[in-house]
A = this chain, B = another copy of it.
Amino acid sequence: MPRVRFLPEGITVEVPLGNTLLQAAARAGIVLEGACGGEGVCGRCRVQVQEGKVTSPPNPRLSLQERQEGWVLACQAVPEGEVAVFVPESSVFTAHRVLKAEESLTLQTKEPLWWEEKLTLPPPTLEDNTDDWGRLSWALQQRGIAPLWPSRHLLAELPRTLRAADWQVKVELAFLDKALYELQGIKPAGRGEGTWGVAVDLGTTTVAAELVDLATGQVVATAGTYNRQAAFGDDVISRIVYATETPRGREELQQAILETVNGLIDELCREAGISFKDIRAVVGAGNTTMVHLLLNLDPTYIRLEPYVPAANAPPPVKAAKLGLKAHPEAWVYLVPGVASYVGGDVVAGVKVTGVGEEEELTLFLDIGTNGEMVLGNREWLMACACSAGPAFEGSGITCGMRAVAGAIEEVEVSPGGEEVFYRTVDGKKPLGICGSGLISLLSSLLRAGVIDRSGRFVEGLDTPRLREGEEGKEFVLVWGESTGHGRDIYVTQGDLQNLLRAKAAIFAGLRTLLSLVGLEAASLERVYIAGGFGRFIDVEDAIGIGMLPDLPRERYAYVGNTSLKGARLCLLSRRAWQETAELARRITYVELSVGNLFMEEFMAALFLPHTNADLFPSVKGA
C-alpha cells in the first residue's frame, strides 16, 4: 500500500492503491480546500510533491513551472509507493468553518468509575486485632472511599484472601453513588491484568462505542453502527408508540438496543483481543427515551403532556441483570438527563464543554432530531428542546443522508443557479447531502438568487437545474452522470421549507431562552455546537440563513459527538460522573409549549435570515 507523509505536520498514512492524495489527506485528518467535489475544476487543493512519485493528469489550473516544481491537485494525484507531500496553508480548509474538535479530553484517569486500589494493610496483632473487613474498610476510608459494600461471596473468603496476599492487595472498586462504593474483588498486589471500560453513545439512529483502558484512559478501539431499534420506528415518538401499544413491545425494543450494543462490544473486544468479561464498567449517554428503552422503563408519559419520564437519573444496574456483555458484576451507568426531551446525551455534552463551570455566558447547542440547547454559566443553567425535525441529520429531506463518505458537505451555487460546486466527505462521488451541506446549500441558493428570503424558488430563472418535479419545483445539485448511484441529487420546495422550519425552531428556541433571562444573543461569549452535521459547520452559512445568531465567528466551536465524549469522561472520572449528575439537577428545563413566546419567535424566524434584519447586521442584504 502506498504511504504518504504530509508536511509540515509530518503525519504519515497508508492508503489503498488508486486513492488520491485528497483521500489520503482526509485519512490523515487534514481537510483540504476544494469546491468542485474532486473534479479537478476549482484548483483549490494544490499540494507539492517533495519525495516519491505520484500519477497526475495535466490540469489547466497549474502552470508548467508549477508542475515542474511538483505541484499537483490533490484530488487528481494518485501516490505510488512512498511519497512526501507539502500542504501549503492556503490549501487547508479553515476559513469561517469550525472543525469538529477531536483533541483528546483532559481526563482525570486516576479516578475511573471502576478501579484497582493498591493497599498495604498492617497485619493484625493482639494489640490491633480489629476484624478483616474493618481493617480493609478503614484503610479505604482513609482514602475517602466509604461506606463500602462487598459484592456477594467476597466477604466470606476475605480472611484467607488477605493472608494469602500477605496483606498486600489490589482491591477492585466500583463507584456507585455519592458515598457508596462496592468492593468487587481482591487480589495479591503484584498481579497485573488490563482493565477496560466501555463508553456508549446511545443515539436514536446510530450507536457509537469506545473501548477504554481504565488504567491509562486511552481509547483502545471504537465502533459504530445503526441502532437496530430503527426497525420499530425512525424517531423516539414512533418507538414509544411501538413500545407502549404493541404486546411485548418494550421487551422487543430493549432486545434491539441490547443486541446493537452487544454487537459493538463484540467488535471492540475482537479488535483489542480481550474477552467481554474484562469490561468492568459501562457508561451510556442517550436521550431520555433511549435510556428508558434500554432499561425497559415505561416510556408512556414521555410522549403525553405534561411529558414526564419514569426516571431522569436511574441508578446503575448490573450488566448481568441488564443483559449487556461485560463482566457480570460490572455496573452500567446512564448519564442523567434533565427532562423528557433534554437527555443524558445533552448533559454529557454540557459537561464535556464545561458550560456550567465558566463565568462567561455560553450556549451549548445539540442539533439532532430535536434542537436541544443549554444556556448559562457557572451560576445558572437553562435548557429547552425545540422540535427542529431531523433535517440536519439528513433525514426528511429528499436526497438527505448522514455525514458519511459521499455525502455533499459543502455547496457553492453560481449566481442565477447555473453552476454548482460541491465537496463530499472523503472526496467520493456524491450520494446525497448531509447537514452541513444543507446549511451551505440554503445559504448559497439565497446568495445566488435562486430562492427568495421566504425560502421559495424565484420565478423565471433561466437554468435547467430548476425544474418541475412530481411535488412542485426542485433544484438539481448534481446530475445523475456524476453521482455515485447514477441518479440526480436535488432539493425540492418541500425540502427547503423543512430546512427553514428546522433553522427557525433552533433560532426561536434560543431567542426564547434568552428572553426568559432578559439577555440578547450578543451576550453569548461562547457557542458550542454538537450534532451529526458532518466534519465541520460553516458558521458563515449558518448565520447567513439565520440559524445561528450573528456573533463574531470566533465565538463558535463545533464539538461533534459530545455524548460519547461525555460518557467516556464519566467512565474515567468518578468526580466527573458526580459533577455530571449534579449538572443534570442544576439545569432548569423550560417547556417551550408553555405560553406563546416560542411560537411568536418561530413565526418571526421563518425567513432568511429573519423577519427582523437588525438581528443580522453582518449578513449582506438581510
Contact A298 B157 (CB under 8 A): yes
Given contacts A134-B313, A177-B147, A313-B134, contact A159 B129 (CB under 8 A): no
- Measured in the bound complex, the distance between the Cα atoms of B131 and A134 in whole Å is 39
Contact of A159 among B132, B158, B178, B301 (CB under 8 A): B301
A614 within 8 A of B: no
- Measured in the bound complex, the distance between the Cα atoms of B157 and A310 in whole Å is 8
Contact A314 B126 (CB under 8 A): no
Residues of B within 8 A of A309 (CB): 131-132
Contact A159 B298 (CB under 8 A): yes
Residues of B within 8 A of A314 (CB): 133, 155
Contact of A594 among B127, B160, B593 (CB under 8 A): B127
A95 within 8 A of B: no
Residues of B within 8 A of A126 (CB): 305-307, 591, 593-594
Residues of B within 8 A of A297 (CB): 155-156, 158-159
A311 within 8 A of B: yes
A152 within 8 A of B: yes
Residues of B within 8 A of A178 (CB): 147
- Measured in the bound complex, the distance between the Cα atoms of B309 and A315 in whole Å is 33
Contact A307 B594 (CB under 8 A): no
A101 within 8 A of B: no
A255 within 8 A of B: no
CB contact list, A483-517 vs B, under 8 A: none
A180 within 8 A of B: yes
Contact of A298 among B150, B158, B180 (CB under 8 A): B158
Contact A315 B159 (CB under 8 A): no
Residues of B within 8 A of A106 (CB): none
Contact B129 A307 (CB under 8 A): yes
**Residue of A127, A311, A591 with highest tally of chain B CB at under 10 A:** A311
Across the interface, name the chain B residue whose C-beta is closest to A148: B315
Contact of A156 among B150, B310, B593 (CB under 8 A): B310
Contact of A131 among B160, B163, B310, B591 (CB under 8 A): B310
Across the interface, name the chain B residue whose C-beta is closest to A337: B131
A222 CB, min distance to chain B CBs, angstroms: 31
Q: Number of A interface residues, CB 8 Å?
A: 50
Q: Interface 1/0s, chain A 284-327, versus B by CB < 8 A?
A: 00000000000111101100011111111111000001000000
Please state the number of chain copies in the assembly.
2
Contact B160 A315 (CB under 8 A): no
A337 CB, min distance to chain B CBs, angstroms: 8
Contact A160 B300 (CB under 8 A): yes
A340 within 8 A of B: yes
A596 CB, min distance to chain B CBs, angstroms: 13
CB contact list, A452-505 vs B, under 8 A: none
Q: Interface 1/0s, chain A 151-183, versus B by CB < 8 A?
A: 010011111100100000000000001111000
A126 CB, min distance to chain B CBs, angstroms: 4
A241 CB, min distance to chain B CBs, angstroms: 15
Residues of B within 8 A of A310 (CB): 131-133, 155-156, 158-159
Residues of B within 8 A of A128 (CB): 306
Residues of B within 8 A of A150 (CB): 315
A74 CB, min distance to chain B CBs, angstroms: 52
- Measured in the bound complex, the distance between the Cα atoms of B130 and A321 in whole Å is 27
A124 within 8 A of B: yes
Residues of B within 8 A of A179 (CB): 179
- Measured in the bound complex, the distance between the Cα atoms of B158 and A300 in whole Å is 11
A339 within 8 A of B: yes
Residues of B within 8 A of A130 (CB): 308, 312, 339
Contact A312 B180 (CB under 8 A): no
A321 CB, min distance to chain B CBs, angstroms: 7
A142 within 8 A of B: no
Contact A134 B177 (CB under 8 A): no
- Measured in the bound complex, the distance between the Cα atoms of B611 and A227 in whole Å is 87
Residues of B within 8 A of A129 (CB): 306-308, 339-340, 589, 591
A324 CB, min distance to chain B CBs, angstroms: 15
Q: Interface 1/0s, chain A 562-606, versus B by CB < 8 A?
A: 000000000000000000000000000101011000000000000
Contact B593 A308 (CB under 8 A): no
Across the interface, name the chain B residue whose C-beta is closest to A594: B126
A68 within 8 A of B: no
**Residue of A157, A301, A307, A314 with highest tally of chain B CB at under 10 A:** A301
Across the interface, name the chain B residue whose C-beta is closest to A317: B152
A104 within 8 A of B: no
Residues of B within 8 A of A125 (CB): 306
- Measured in the bound complex, the distance between the Cα atoms of B297 and A300 in whole Å is 46
Chain A positions near chain B (C-beta within 8 angstroms): 124-134, 147, 149-150, 152, 155-160, 163, 177-180, 295-298, 300-301, 305-315, 321, 339-340, 589, 591, 593-594
CB-defined A-B contacts under 8 Å, sample of 26: A124-B306, A126-B305, A126-B591, A127-B591, A127-B594, A128-B306, A129-B306, A129-B307, A129-B340, A129-B591, A130-B308, A131-B308, A131-B309, A131-B311, A131-B313, A132-B310, A133-B312, A149-B315, A155-B295, A155-B314, A156-B295, A157-B298, A158-B311, A159-B297, A163-B301, A177-B180
